[in-house]
């Protein structure tokens, strides 16, 4: 194995951190240099991630590639073990892509109160934490990257957020920490019950093998799945742990919302697929109906909540809860279709909802309000391009066939028609969830179209007639076009994702075949 | 018995003793504007003692008839206490020079207290322990009251003194009972005696242990013996508070570790639950009261009470088959806690030049006026809360690890600690919030170079230990004090 293969993902993951340090040293006055460095570093990291994706051997997606496994903390046998497989690669690349586009967007739009230097440094720090989560194959390493996103995101919301920012920021922080420390206790439980050649281990692959050989007792798996699942569920967030999300997403600055929705939420669902399922297969089987139930509730609840929203950004935030419900429903079926759908859903949601938050940010930039009633309709007359893109992305989000949002949802529903028999899941129950999810999609279509009717259609209110709003500007086009292309491309060629994930997902599900 | 004294083993203590006498004498001959020279003089002495301690690494020596040991545990803590002493000296220079205090006396008393700290981890005898502890405390009573014109400082010293004397008396009474039961003052001998048949004096032995533990509980400010700490911390000069909250507290824990894990280990089934209760109440009360604080030093005082609760947790795990891990977790936590706490106090010392009231509101706008200090303070607060990417995370991690490993009550305690950590975030974040989110008056802050240096050094250490925790976690397990 060449040095490049061993170091590539480490380089990509830590480039943003290096960027943050460099930016911190640039004098405050050199505003353009700071913004330029943000683009350069996120761009370089994105480029490396593309090279990794090109070098990835798609024939063996279930095999860990670009792997590096070195000693880190001898005292607890924690290792710096990183790599990518078919499950993590799409999310890994998505992280760099979204961060890069956010850096481009920041070239023109720095949220009040400015302080570009700190803003970009925190964003880059956040990027390292997010990317690291998707490559860590050691539980301690995973946990550290997982927690590393908290402090930057707290400040991004608390400093650059809107009116209620401090409340939202602390709520986000406390809620997530509360869940993740239980997750840590669960990891410690796994560690002490594991026995790999006479040693306890935090290594994900070794723990998976140990679990596959029946190393963890059933009672133990139930308890630990509860602890780890709580931490992951808060991050996703699953209903009823979702209450931090509408506040955080609504109050965060545009870039913060994009990264929160686009990447941060996926850390939770990814954790289920990467850790909870393979290491605790029995726990997963027993919890699956409950996860399915919460997911079904989330879908319907979020859709109903969206109908009642008056704030455009809060509406998008609540729609995230529903979309993550579909992802969790797919995971809960423990089938190949379901988990493939979940990963597809994560990437699609990252593109679509990330894009929606960009749009809301730009709408606010023009109108200085996010209240649907105050915008008052007629945006298609005033800002035809912005209105058109908003309509396009909203329709993608409600799951129109041919666009990215479709595959994740429809396949999640499809998989719940026939949940895993090997895992002993109740078919009738999951078909019930499917019906609930189906109802959710109808309401989702309803609230998106209603929102478009109130924002885009109708006559322009008097108060905006004279306003000098620019339509979509160059920087916005540059940062949005890749997302729009991605939404169409994934809709037409779902194999772009399924081709990558399928092998890895089937490898994972072999653990359940025997159970 | 004709004890031969191992002079190399006690070289650091000898150097310190010599230095503090020299400081006191030289002070007499210095004219007032030059009194501050006592600080570099003290620093030279501490540095020499530090170097002398380094020559003892890997040693395993006993002297004074087995009552004084220099082993990896002792050397680790001696290095730690001397490092803390140097840092406190750095923090003291400007503070005491500008405040026109009696500098010579101050450095003399501080060094005496440091000498007690340095003796503590070597003391393997009840009398030796008592002497060390008094040597730590008695000078501290005086320097806590060093701001003579401020009634709060007088109150600080007086409260500290009364509580200290009371706890010493209780402890001494317990020690005398232990001697009565076991016939020895040597910790190892006591351990052996208590392991055997006590001939009807079991209850007396347990009562005696309880007395000794109570005495130490005052020193480390464990609930319900914590109430002196906030008043004392608030009233004392800030560098003294930094010393009390890190070195003096750690010294209490060092003594407690030796007593519990060596002398009383066979009674762990009895005192384990006592420590579990201490731990739960100390961390919960500390955290809950800290939520209400408006004054920075009081906030840090309650924080240090809560932190003491975390440090007490591993004691509750003794006798569950994880003694070695629990012991290492406690030591690791104490060391990491001292780094981040000293750093936080360094920033407080800097801010105290601007506002002696030290309200949390006085931190407003620090990010603009002194970005380096504000950044460092943010790192310390995040670290005290135990959130990555900081060393505080590892401190908590090792305690969690020992708790989960112990199972049963250990898991329950770990869960309580988890909940407490989340609560603590709320007030720890209050200071960064003030520094960064609240606009303050725009006036560039000039902080003494040494203080800035300490803050930057501690912040760098907090990050470095996070990236490579073996920098600290490697050492505690080397201790031979606790058998596996």
pLDDT beyond 80 at A320: yes
The answer to whether the beta carbons of residues A300 and A436 sit under 8 Å apart is yes
Contact assignment for A192 to B404 by CB distance below 8 Å: yes
Chain A contacts to B (CB-CB under 8 A)? 72-76, 143-144, 147-148, 150-151, 154-155, 158-159, 166, 170, 173-174, 177-178, 181-182, 184-185, 188-189, 191-192
Tens of pLDDT, residues B428-484:
988 988 888 888 777 778 888 889 999 999 999 999 999 888 888 888 888 877 764
DSSP category for residue A63: S
Q: Within 13 Å and on the Cβ side, how many CA atoms surround B35?
A: 19
Of A75, A170, A188, the CB nearest to B400: A188
Domain with A100 in it: 3-514
Residues 6+ apart with CB under 8 A from A30: none
Number of domains in chain A: 1
Region B2-25 average pLDDT: 87
pLDDT confidence of B2, banded at 50, 70, 90?
A: low
| Angle of CA points A256, A262, A267, to nearest 5° | 105
What percentage of chain B exceeds 90 in pLDDT? 50
- Residues 359 through 388 of chain B touching chain A, CB cutoff 8 Å: 382, 387-388
pLDDT confidence of A515, banded at 50, 70, 90?
A: very low
pTM given for the model: 0.89
Instruction: Show residues of chain A in contact with B376, CB under 8 Å.
Output: none
* Angle at which helices B249-258 and B126-144 cross, to 10°: 170
d(CA A304, CA B341): 49
d(CA A372, CA A194): 54
B257 touches chain A (CB under 8 A): no
| Angle of CA points B291, B422, B313, to nearest 5° | 95
Count CB-CB contacts under 10 A for residue A514: 9
Task: Work out whether the CA dihedral B109, B249, B231, B361 comes out positive or negative.
Answer: positive
d(CA A161, CA A111): 8
Tens of pLDDT, residues B90-139:
999 888 888 777 888 899 999 999 999 999 999 999 999 999 999 999 99
How close does chain B come to A282, measured CA to CA in Å? 21
Predicted pLDDT of residue B346:
93
User: Which site among A119, A151, A244 would you substitute to test the B interface, given the most B Cβ atoms closer than 10 Å to its Cβ?
Assistant: A151
d(CA A161, CA A30): 24
Contact assignment for B474 to A184 by CB distance below 8 Å: no
pLDDT beyond 90 at B3: no
B239 touches chain A (CB under 8 A): no
d(CA A135, CA A92): 8
DSSP category for residue B333: H
pLDDT beyond 50 at A514: no
> Does an H or E element contain B67, and which?
none
Task: Work out whether the CA dihedral A309, A103, A106, B372 comes out positive or negative.
Answer: positive
Instruction: Show residues of chain A in contact with B335, CB under 8 Å.
Output: none
Strand ranges, E, within A376-483 = none
B404 touches chain A (CB under 8 A): yes
| B367 → chain A, closest CA residue | A118
The answer to whether the beta carbons of residues B46 and B21 sit under 8 Å apart is no
pLDDT beyond 70 at B173: yes
Query: A22: burial class by Cβ within 10 Å (0-12, 13-18, 19+)?
Result: middle
DSSP category for residue A459: P
Q: Which of these, B60, B72, B10, B144, lies nearest to B477 by C-alpha position?
A: B72
Interchain CB contacts (distance < 8 Å): A and B = 73
pLDDT beyond 80 at A512: no
B405 touches chain A (CB under 8 A): yes
d(CA B90, CA B101): 16
Task: Work out whether the CA dihedral B411, B417, B419, B421 comes out positive or negative.
Answer: negative
DSSP category for residue B84: H
d(CA A418, CA A122): 44
d(CA A23, CA A38): 8
How close does chain B come to A243, measured CA to CA in Å? 17
Of A76, A170, A189, the CB nearest to B429: A170
Q: Is the ipTM of this complex over 0.90?
A: no
Query: φ and ψ at B196, to 5 degrees?
Result: -90, -160
What percentage of chain B exceeds 70 in pLDDT? 99
Residues 6+ apart with CB under 8 A from B332: B394, B395, B398, B472, B473, B476
Q: Which of these, A369, A396, A385, lies nearest to A488 by C-alpha position?
A: A396
Residues 6+ apart with CB under 8 A from B451: B90, B91, B94, B346, B349, B350
């Amino acid at each position: 194995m060449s040095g490049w293969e061993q170091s590539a993902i480490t380089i990509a993951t830590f480039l943003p951190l290096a960027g943050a340090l460099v930016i911190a040293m640039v004098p405050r006055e050199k505003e353009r240099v700071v913004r330029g460095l943000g683009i350069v570093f996120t761009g370089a990291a994105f480029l490396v991630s593309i090279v990794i994706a090109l070098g990835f051997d798609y024939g063996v997606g279930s095999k860990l590639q670009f792997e590096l496994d070195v000693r880190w903390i001898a005292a607890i046998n924690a290792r710096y073990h990183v790599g990518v497989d078919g499950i993590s690669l799409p999310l890994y690349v998505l992280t760099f892509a979204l961060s890069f586009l956010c850096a481009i967007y920041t070239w023109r739009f720095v949220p009040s109160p400015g302080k570009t230097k700190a803003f970009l440094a925190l964003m880059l720090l956040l990027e390292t934490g997010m990317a690291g989560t998707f490559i860590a194959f050691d539980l301690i390493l995973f946990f550290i990257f997982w927690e590393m996103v908290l402090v930057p995101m707290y400040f991004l919301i608390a400093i650059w957020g809107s009116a209620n920012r401090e409340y939202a920021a602390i709520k986000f922080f406390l809620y997530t920490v509360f869940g993740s420390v239980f997750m840590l206790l669960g990891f410690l439980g796994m560690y002490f019950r594991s026995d790999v050649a006479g040693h306890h281990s935090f290594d994900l692959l070794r723990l998976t093998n140990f679990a596959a050989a029946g190393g963890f007792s059933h009672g133990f798996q139930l308890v630990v799945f509860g602890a780890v699942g709580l931490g992951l569920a808060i991050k996703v967030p699953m209903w009823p742990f979702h209450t931090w999300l509408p506040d955080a997403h609504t109050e965060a600055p545009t870039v913060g919302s994009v990264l929160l929705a686009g990447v941060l939420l996926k850390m939770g669902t990814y954790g289920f697929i990467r850790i909870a399922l393979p290491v605790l297969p029995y726990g997963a089987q027993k919890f699956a109906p409950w996860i399915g139930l919460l997911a079904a509730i989330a879908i319907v609840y979020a859709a109903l909540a969206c109908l009642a929203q008056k704030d455009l950004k809060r509406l998008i935030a609540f729609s995230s809860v529903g979309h993550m419900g579909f992802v969790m429903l797919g995971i809960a079926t423990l089938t190949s279709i379901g988990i493939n759908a979940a990963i597809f859903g994560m990437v699609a949601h990252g593109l679509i909802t990330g894009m929606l938050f960009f749009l809301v940010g730009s709408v606010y930039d023009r109108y200085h309000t996010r209240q649907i009633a105050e915008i008052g309709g007629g945006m298609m007359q005033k800002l035809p391009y912005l209105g058109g893109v908003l309509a396009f992305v909203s329709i993608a989000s409600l799951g129109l066939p041919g666009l990215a949002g479709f595959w994740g949802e429809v396949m999640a529903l499809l998989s719940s028609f026939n949940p895993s028999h090997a895992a002993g899941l109740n078919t009738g129950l999951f078909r019930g969830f499917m019906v609930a999810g189906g109802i959710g999609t109808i309401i989702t279509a309803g609230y998106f179209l209603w929102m478009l009717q109130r924002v885009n259609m109708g006559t322009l209110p008097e108060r905006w007639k004279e306003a000098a709003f620019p339509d979509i500007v160059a920087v916005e086009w540059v940062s949005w076009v890749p997302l729009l292309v991605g939404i169409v491309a994934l809709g037409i060629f779902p194999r772009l994702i399924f081709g990558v994930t399928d092998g890895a997902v089937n490898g994972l599900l072999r653990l359940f075949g025997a159970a | 018995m004709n004890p031969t004294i191992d002079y190399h083993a006690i070289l650091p203590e000898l150097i310190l003793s010599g230095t503090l006498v020299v400081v006191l004498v030289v002070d007499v001959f210095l004219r007032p504007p030059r009194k501050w020279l006592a600080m570099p003089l003290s620093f030279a002495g501490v540095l020499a003692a530090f170097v002398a301690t380094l020559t003892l690494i890997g040693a395993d020596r006993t002297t004074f008839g087995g009552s004084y040991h220099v082993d990896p545990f002792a050397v680790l803590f001696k290095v730690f206490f001397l490092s803390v002493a140097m840092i406190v000296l750095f923090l003291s220079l400007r503070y005491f020079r500008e405040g026109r205090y009696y500098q010579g006396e101050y450095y003399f008393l501080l060094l005496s207290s440091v000498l007690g700290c340095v003796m503590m981890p070597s003391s393997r005898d009840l009398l030796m322990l008592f002497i060390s502890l008094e040597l730590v405390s008695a000078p501290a009573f005086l320097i806590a009251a060093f701001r003579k014109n401020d009634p709060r400082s007088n109150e600080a010293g007086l409260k500290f003194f009364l509580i200290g004397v009371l706890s010493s008396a209780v402890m001494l009474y317990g020690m005398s009972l232990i001697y009565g039961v076991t016939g020895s003052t040597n910790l190892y001998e006591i351990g052996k005696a208590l392991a055997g048949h006590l001939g009807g004096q079991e209850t007396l032995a347990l009562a005696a242990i309880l007395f000794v533990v109570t005495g130490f509980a005052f020193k480390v400010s464990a609930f319900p013996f914590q109430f002196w700490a906030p008043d004392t911390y608030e009233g004392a000069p800030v560098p003294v508070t930094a010393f009390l909250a890190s070195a003096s507290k750690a010294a209490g824990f060092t003594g407690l570790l030796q007593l519990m894990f060596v002398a009383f280990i066979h009674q762990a089934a009895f005192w384990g639950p006592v420590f579990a209760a201490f731990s739960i109440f100390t961390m919960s009360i500390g955290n809950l009261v800290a939520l209400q604080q408006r004054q920075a030093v009081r906030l840090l005082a309650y924080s240090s009470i809560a932190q003491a609760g975390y440090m007490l947790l591993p004691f509750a795990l003794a006798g569950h088959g994880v003694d070695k891990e629990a012991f290492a977790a406690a030591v690791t936590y104490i060391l990491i806690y001292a780094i981040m706490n000293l750093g936080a106090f360094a920033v407080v010392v800097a801010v105290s030049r601007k506002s002696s009231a030290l309200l949390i509101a006085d931190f407003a706008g620090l990010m603009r006026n002194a970005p380096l200090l504000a950044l460092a303070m943010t790192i310390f607060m995040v670290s005290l809360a135990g959130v990555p990417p900081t060393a505080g995370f590892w401190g908590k991690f090792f305690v969690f690890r020992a708790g989960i490993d112990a199972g049963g009550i250990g898991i329950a305690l770990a869960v309580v600690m988890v909940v407490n950590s989340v609560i603590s975030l709320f007030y720890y974040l209050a200071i960064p919030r003030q520094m960064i989110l609240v606009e303050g008056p725009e006036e560039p802050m000039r902080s003494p170079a040494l203080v800035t240096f300490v803050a930057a050094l501690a912040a760098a250490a907090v990050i470095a230990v996070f990236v490579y925790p073996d920098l600290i976690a490697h050492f505690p397990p080397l201790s031979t004090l606790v058998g596996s």
